[in-house]
Amino acid sequence: MASDRSLVVLAFGIAAIIVCLVNAEKGDIDISICENMTESNTTSCAEKIANGDLPSVVCYRMDRRHKECCETCLRYRVTGETEACRYGDGEPSRCTGKDFQPSTCYYREYQTCCQTCRQYVKTDTTGKQRTQCKYGDRNPDQCMGSSFHPGQCYNKERYSCCETCPKYIRKDRNGRDLECKYEDNPKSCRGKNFDESTCYWRYRGECCHACRRRVRTFGVLKSPPTGDCKYGDRRPEFCKSLDPYDCNDNEGSCCQTCAPFQLTIKGCKYGDFPIIFDTDEGIFDCTDYLAVYGPEQCEDSLIRDKCCHTCWKSEKTKNISLLLATPLHIPDEE
Protein backbone atom coordinates (compact mmCIF):
# COMPACT_ATOMS: atom_id res chain seq x y z
CA MET A 1 0.00 0.00 0.00
CA ALA A 2 2.84 2.36 0.84
CA SER A 3 4.45 1.81 -2.58
CA ASP A 4 1.10 2.41 -4.32
CA ARG A 5 0.66 5.68 -2.41
CA SER A 6 4.16 6.78 -3.38
CA LEU A 7 3.40 6.05 -7.00
CA VAL A 8 0.22 8.16 -6.79
CA VAL A 9 2.10 11.09 -5.27
CA LEU A 10 4.88 10.75 -7.80
CA ALA A 11 2.40 10.64 -10.67
CA PHE A 12 0.60 13.67 -9.23
CA GLY A 13 3.84 15.62 -9.00
CA ILE A 14 4.89 14.70 -12.55
CA ALA A 15 1.48 15.74 -13.83
CA ALA A 16 1.76 19.08 -12.05
CA ILE A 17 5.17 19.74 -13.59
CA ILE A 18 3.91 18.78 -17.07
CA VAL A 19 0.96 21.17 -16.69
CA CYS A 20 3.35 23.91 -15.52
CA LEU A 21 5.63 23.36 -18.51
CA VAL A 22 2.75 23.36 -20.97
CA ASN A 23 1.28 26.50 -19.48
CA ALA A 24 4.72 28.10 -19.37
CA GLU A 25 5.04 27.52 -23.14
CA LYS A 26 1.73 29.36 -23.55
CA GLY A 27 3.02 32.22 -21.48
CA ASP A 28 0.48 31.71 -18.69
CA ILE A 29 2.89 30.72 -15.89
CA ASP A 30 6.40 31.82 -15.10
CA ILE A 31 8.12 28.80 -13.51
CA SER A 32 11.29 30.83 -12.95
CA ILE A 33 9.80 32.23 -9.75
CA CYS A 34 10.56 28.88 -8.09
CA GLU A 35 14.20 28.55 -9.16
CA ASN A 36 15.96 30.13 -6.18
CA MET A 37 13.90 28.43 -3.48
CA THR A 38 15.25 25.66 -1.23
CA GLU A 39 14.03 22.09 -1.37
CA SER A 40 11.49 21.02 1.24
CA ASN A 41 12.43 18.48 3.89
CA THR A 42 8.84 18.12 5.11
CA THR A 43 5.72 16.55 3.69
CA SER A 44 5.36 17.82 0.13
CA CYS A 45 2.51 20.11 -0.92
CA ALA A 46 1.55 17.63 -3.63
CA GLU A 47 1.11 14.96 -0.96
CA LYS A 48 -0.91 17.27 1.29
CA ILE A 49 -3.27 18.09 -1.57
CA ALA A 50 -3.50 14.42 -2.60
CA ASN A 51 -4.49 13.63 0.99
CA GLY A 52 -7.46 16.01 0.80
CA ASP A 53 -6.14 19.41 1.92
CA LEU A 54 -7.53 22.31 -0.08
CA PRO A 55 -4.99 23.49 -2.65
CA SER A 56 -5.69 27.14 -1.83
CA VAL A 57 -5.10 26.57 1.90
CA VAL A 58 -1.87 24.68 1.27
CA CYS A 59 -0.57 26.99 -1.43
CA TYR A 60 -1.21 30.33 0.25
CA ARG A 61 0.70 29.02 3.25
CA MET A 62 3.56 27.17 1.55
CA ASP A 63 4.18 28.33 -2.01
CA ARG A 64 6.69 31.01 -1.00
CA ARG A 65 8.65 28.72 1.31
CA HIS A 66 9.83 25.72 -0.72
CA LYS A 67 10.62 24.99 -4.35
CA GLU A 68 8.51 21.83 -4.46
CA CYS A 69 5.42 23.67 -3.15
CA CYS A 70 6.02 26.57 -5.47
CA GLU A 71 6.12 24.26 -8.51
CA THR A 72 3.13 22.21 -7.33
CA CYS A 73 1.01 25.28 -6.64
CA LEU A 74 1.64 26.90 -9.99
CA ARG A 75 -1.03 24.67 -11.51
CA TYR A 76 -3.63 25.97 -9.06
CA ARG A 77 -3.15 29.63 -9.86
CA VAL A 78 -6.34 31.34 -11.05
CA THR A 79 -5.91 33.03 -14.41
CA GLY A 80 -6.50 36.76 -14.31
CA GLU A 81 -6.37 37.10 -10.53
CA THR A 82 -4.09 39.45 -8.66
CA GLU A 83 -1.03 38.11 -6.91
CA ALA A 84 -2.78 38.54 -3.55
CA CYS A 85 -5.65 36.33 -4.77
CA ARG A 86 -3.58 34.00 -6.97
CA TYR A 87 -5.39 30.82 -5.82
CA GLY A 88 -8.86 32.30 -5.55
CA ASP A 89 -10.79 32.01 -2.31
CA GLY A 90 -8.55 30.69 0.43
CA GLU A 91 -11.40 29.12 2.36
CA PRO A 92 -14.35 28.66 -0.04
CA SER A 93 -16.63 27.21 2.64
CA ARG A 94 -16.59 30.59 4.44
CA CYS A 95 -17.61 32.49 1.30
CA THR A 96 -21.07 31.05 0.72
CA GLY A 97 -24.21 30.22 2.67
CA LYS A 98 -26.54 32.19 4.92
CA ASP A 99 -23.74 33.28 7.26
CA PHE A 100 -21.93 35.05 4.44
CA GLN A 101 -22.80 38.71 3.80
CA PRO A 102 -21.05 41.27 1.60
CA SER A 103 -20.10 43.15 4.78
CA THR A 104 -17.95 40.21 5.86
CA CYS A 105 -15.71 41.03 2.92
CA TYR A 106 -14.22 43.90 4.90
CA TYR A 107 -12.61 41.20 7.03
CA ARG A 108 -12.25 38.38 4.49
CA GLU A 109 -11.30 40.13 1.26
CA TYR A 110 -7.65 39.25 1.70
CA GLN A 111 -7.25 35.62 0.51
CA THR A 112 -10.05 34.09 2.62
CA CYS A 113 -12.80 35.18 0.17
CA CYS A 114 -10.85 37.41 -2.19
CA GLN A 115 -12.36 36.01 -5.38
CA THR A 116 -15.96 35.94 -4.15
CA CYS A 117 -15.77 39.39 -2.56
CA ARG A 118 -14.77 41.04 -5.79
CA GLN A 119 -18.26 40.57 -7.17
CA TYR A 120 -19.73 42.49 -4.24
CA VAL A 121 -17.65 45.65 -4.64
CA LYS A 122 -20.06 48.56 -5.16
CA THR A 123 -19.62 51.27 -7.77
CA ASP A 124 -19.96 55.02 -7.49
CA THR A 125 -22.15 57.26 -9.64
CA THR A 126 -19.59 57.15 -12.47
CA GLY A 127 -19.53 53.36 -12.54
CA LYS A 128 -16.09 53.06 -10.97
CA GLN A 129 -15.50 50.67 -8.10
CA ARG A 130 -15.50 52.39 -4.74
CA THR A 131 -12.43 52.63 -2.57
CA GLN A 132 -14.46 53.75 0.46
CA CYS A 133 -17.49 51.83 1.73
CA LYS A 134 -16.88 49.40 -1.09
CA TYR A 135 -19.02 46.61 0.35
CA GLY A 136 -21.74 48.81 1.84
CA ASP A 137 -22.54 48.97 5.55
CA ARG A 138 -19.96 47.24 7.71
CA ASN A 139 -22.50 46.36 10.39
CA PRO A 140 -25.85 46.12 8.58
CA ASP A 141 -27.76 45.03 11.68
CA GLN A 142 -26.89 48.35 13.35
CA CYS A 143 -28.22 50.36 10.42
CA MET A 144 -31.84 49.29 10.36
CA GLY A 145 -34.79 48.56 12.62
CA SER A 146 -36.28 50.38 15.58
CA SER A 147 -32.94 50.77 17.35
CA PHE A 148 -31.50 52.82 14.48
CA HIS A 149 -32.05 56.55 14.09
CA PRO A 150 -30.40 58.92 11.56
CA GLY A 151 -29.06 60.96 14.47
CA GLN A 152 -26.63 58.12 15.14
CA CYS A 153 -25.06 58.68 11.73
CA TYR A 154 -22.73 61.39 13.03
CA ASN A 155 -20.79 58.57 14.66
CA LYS A 156 -21.54 55.79 12.20
CA GLU A 157 -21.47 57.33 8.73
CA ARG A 158 -17.78 56.64 8.14
CA TYR A 159 -17.74 53.10 9.42
CA SER A 160 -20.71 51.02 10.55
CA CYS A 161 -23.41 52.52 8.30
CA CYS A 162 -21.48 54.13 5.47
CA GLU A 163 -24.05 53.00 2.89
CA THR A 164 -27.23 53.78 4.82
CA CYS A 165 -26.39 57.14 6.43
CA PRO A 166 -25.86 59.22 3.29
CA LYS A 167 -29.51 58.54 2.40
CA TYR A 168 -30.58 60.61 5.44
CA ILE A 169 -28.37 63.67 4.88
CA ARG A 170 -30.35 66.93 4.97
CA LYS A 171 -29.38 69.62 2.46
CA ASP A 172 -30.12 73.29 1.91
CA ARG A 173 -31.77 74.71 -1.20
CA ASN A 174 -28.39 74.84 -2.94
CA GLY A 175 -27.77 71.16 -2.37
CA ARG A 176 -25.12 71.63 0.32
CA ASP A 177 -25.10 69.58 3.51
CA LEU A 178 -26.66 71.41 6.44
CA GLU A 179 -24.47 71.98 9.48
CA CYS A 180 -26.78 69.63 11.38
CA LYS A 181 -27.15 67.26 8.49
CA TYR A 182 -29.00 64.52 10.35
CA GLU A 183 -32.14 64.69 12.48
CA ASP A 184 -31.73 64.60 16.25
CA ASN A 185 -32.41 61.36 18.03
CA PRO A 186 -35.63 62.15 19.98
CA LYS A 187 -34.87 59.55 22.63
CA SER A 188 -31.62 61.24 23.59
CA CYS A 189 -32.11 64.93 22.85
CA ARG A 190 -35.46 65.92 24.31
CA GLY A 191 -37.13 66.20 27.67
CA LYS A 192 -36.21 67.60 31.05
CA ASN A 193 -33.49 65.02 31.57
CA PHE A 194 -31.46 66.29 28.62
CA ASP A 195 -28.09 67.42 29.97
CA GLU A 196 -26.76 70.28 27.88
CA SER A 197 -23.24 69.75 29.21
CA THR A 198 -23.14 66.63 27.02
CA CYS A 199 -23.28 68.95 24.01
CA TYR A 200 -19.53 69.40 24.23
CA TRP A 201 -19.20 65.94 22.73
CA ARG A 202 -22.67 65.49 21.19
CA TYR A 203 -22.92 68.72 19.22
CA ARG A 204 -21.52 67.03 16.16
CA GLY A 205 -23.45 63.95 17.17
CA GLU A 206 -26.98 62.83 17.65
CA CYS A 207 -28.16 66.08 19.31
CA CYS A 208 -26.87 68.68 16.88
CA HIS A 209 -30.14 70.67 16.64
CA ALA A 210 -30.86 70.54 20.38
CA CYS A 211 -27.35 71.70 21.23
CA ARG A 212 -27.45 74.63 18.84
CA ARG A 213 -30.46 75.93 20.72
CA ARG A 214 -28.66 75.73 24.05
CA VAL A 215 -25.56 77.80 23.34
CA ARG A 216 -25.06 80.28 26.19
CA THR A 217 -23.98 83.89 25.82
CA PHE A 218 -23.43 84.73 29.54
CA GLY A 219 -24.40 88.33 28.84
CA VAL A 220 -25.64 88.88 32.39
CA LEU A 221 -22.39 87.82 34.06
CA LYS A 222 -20.02 90.49 35.27
CA SER A 223 -17.11 88.17 34.51
CA PRO A 224 -18.07 85.98 31.54
CA PRO A 225 -16.08 82.75 31.16
CA THR A 226 -13.17 82.63 28.78
CA GLY A 227 -12.47 79.94 26.22
CA ASP A 228 -14.99 77.36 25.11
CA CYS A 229 -17.83 77.55 27.60
CA LYS A 230 -20.82 77.77 25.30
CA TYR A 231 -22.74 75.03 27.11
CA GLY A 232 -21.75 75.96 30.65
CA ASP A 233 -19.98 73.64 33.07
CA ARG A 234 -18.85 70.32 31.67
CA ARG A 235 -19.35 68.60 35.05
CA PRO A 236 -22.31 70.44 36.62
CA GLU A 237 -22.77 68.28 39.71
CA PHE A 238 -19.07 68.32 40.55
CA CYS A 239 -18.85 72.09 40.06
CA LYS A 240 -21.63 72.88 42.53
CA SER A 241 -19.37 72.25 45.54
CA LEU A 242 -16.32 74.02 44.16
CA ASP A 243 -14.45 76.59 46.26
CA PRO A 244 -12.88 79.53 44.39
CA TYR A 245 -9.31 78.29 44.75
CA ASP A 246 -10.30 74.89 43.31
CA CYS A 247 -10.85 76.67 40.02
CA ASN A 248 -7.10 76.80 39.48
CA ASP A 249 -7.24 73.11 38.61
CA ASN A 250 -10.84 72.85 37.37
CA GLU A 251 -11.70 75.95 35.40
CA GLY A 252 -11.81 73.91 32.19
CA SER A 253 -14.49 71.61 33.61
CA CYS A 254 -16.29 74.33 35.60
CA CYS A 255 -15.95 77.34 33.32
CA GLN A 256 -19.36 78.79 34.22
CA THR A 257 -19.03 78.30 37.98
CA CYS A 258 -15.48 79.66 38.06
CA ALA A 259 -16.09 82.78 35.99
CA PRO A 260 -17.54 84.89 38.88
CA PHE A 261 -14.60 83.88 41.11
CA GLN A 262 -11.97 85.31 38.79
CA LEU A 263 -9.85 88.18 40.08
CA THR A 264 -7.85 90.67 38.06
CA ILE A 265 -4.85 90.35 40.37
CA LYS A 266 -1.75 89.11 38.61
CA GLY A 267 -0.76 85.66 39.85
CA CYS A 268 -3.87 85.45 42.04
CA LYS A 269 -6.63 84.50 39.63
CA TYR A 270 -8.81 82.67 42.15
CA GLY A 271 -7.73 84.12 45.48
CA ASP A 272 -6.03 82.74 48.58
CA PHE A 273 -4.78 79.22 48.82
CA PRO A 274 -6.86 77.29 51.40
CA ILE A 275 -4.02 77.32 53.89
CA ILE A 276 -4.31 76.98 57.68
CA PHE A 277 -1.80 78.58 60.09
CA ASP A 278 -1.41 76.59 63.32
CA THR A 279 0.10 79.12 65.76
CA ASP A 280 0.44 79.64 69.50
CA GLU A 281 -2.44 82.07 69.27
CA GLY A 282 -4.71 79.61 67.52
CA ILE A 283 -5.53 78.24 64.08
CA PHE A 284 -6.09 80.91 61.44
CA ASP A 285 -6.81 81.32 57.76
CA CYS A 286 -5.10 84.08 55.77
CA THR A 287 -7.45 86.88 56.82
CA ASP A 288 -7.28 86.12 60.56
CA TYR A 289 -3.54 85.46 60.45
CA LEU A 290 -2.78 88.90 59.07
CA ALA A 291 -5.25 90.50 61.46
CA VAL A 292 -3.38 89.00 64.43
CA TYR A 293 0.23 89.19 63.25
CA GLY A 294 0.01 92.24 61.04
CA PRO A 295 0.16 92.92 57.28
CA GLU A 296 3.96 92.96 57.37
CA GLN A 297 3.75 89.17 57.24
CA CYS A 298 3.12 89.60 53.54
CA GLU A 299 6.77 90.53 53.13
CA ASP A 300 7.43 86.79 53.40
CA SER A 301 7.25 85.52 49.79
CA LEU A 302 5.66 82.21 50.84
CA ILE A 303 2.85 83.93 52.74
CA ARG A 304 2.42 86.48 49.95
CA ASP A 305 2.03 83.61 47.48
CA LYS A 306 -0.42 81.58 49.56
CA CYS A 307 -2.41 84.59 50.79
CA CYS A 308 -2.22 86.59 47.58
CA HIS A 309 -5.72 88.07 47.78
CA THR A 310 -5.56 88.98 51.45
CA CYS A 311 -2.12 90.54 51.00
CA TRP A 312 -3.34 92.46 47.98
CA LYS A 313 -6.28 93.86 49.96
CA SER A 314 -3.96 94.71 52.84
CA GLU A 315 -1.59 96.55 50.51
CA LYS A 316 -4.48 98.38 48.91
CA THR A 317 -5.85 99.44 52.31
CA LYS A 318 -2.39 100.62 53.32
CA ASN A 319 -2.06 102.73 50.18
CA ILE A 320 -5.45 104.33 50.73
CA SER A 321 -4.56 105.11 54.35
CA LEU A 322 -1.32 106.75 53.26
CA LEU A 323 -3.16 108.75 50.67
CA LEU A 324 -5.71 109.98 53.19
CA ALA A 325 -2.98 110.83 55.71
CA THR A 326 -1.08 112.96 53.21
CA PRO A 327 -1.84 116.67 53.78
CA LEU A 328 -3.55 118.31 50.88
CA HIS A 329 -1.34 121.12 49.58
CA ILE A 330 -3.18 124.10 48.21
CA PRO A 331 -0.92 126.66 46.56
CA ASP A 332 -1.14 130.27 47.86
CA GLU A 333 -2.97 132.73 45.73
CA GLU A 334 -0.84 135.41 44.19
> Each residue of 142-196: pLDDT tens digit?
898 888 888 888 877 778 899 999 999 999 999 999 888 998 887 778 777 788 8
Rounded to the nearest integer, the mean pLDDT of the chain is: 81
Mean pLDDT of 78-96: 89
Of the candidate ranges 40-54, 208-222, 242-256, the one whose mean pLDDT is the lowest:
208-222
User: What is residue 319's predicted lDDT score, i.e. its pLDDT?
Assistant: 57
- With cut-offs at 50, 70 and 90, classify the pLDDT of residue 22: very low
Q: Which of 23-37, 96-110, 233-247 has the lowest mean pLDDT?
A: 23-37
Is 221 a residue whose pLDDT tops 70? no
How far, in Å, CA of 150 to CA of 73, rounded? 49
The pLDDT, as a whole number, for residue 168 is: 92
At residue 71 the predicted structure's pLDDT band, cuts being 50, 70 and 90, is confident
Confidence of residue 203 (pLDDT cuts 50, 70, 90): low
More confident residue, 32 or 290: 290
Q: What is the pLDDT of residue 204?
A: 64
Per-residue confidence (pLDDT) for residue 2, from 0 to 100: 41
Residue 38: the pLDDT is 77
Residue 62's pLDDT is what? Answer: 87
More confident residue, 133 or 12: 133
Choice among 102-106, 108-112, 174-178, 293-297 with the minimum mean pLDDT: 108-112
**Banded model confidence at residue 14, pLDDT cuts 50, 70, 90:** very low
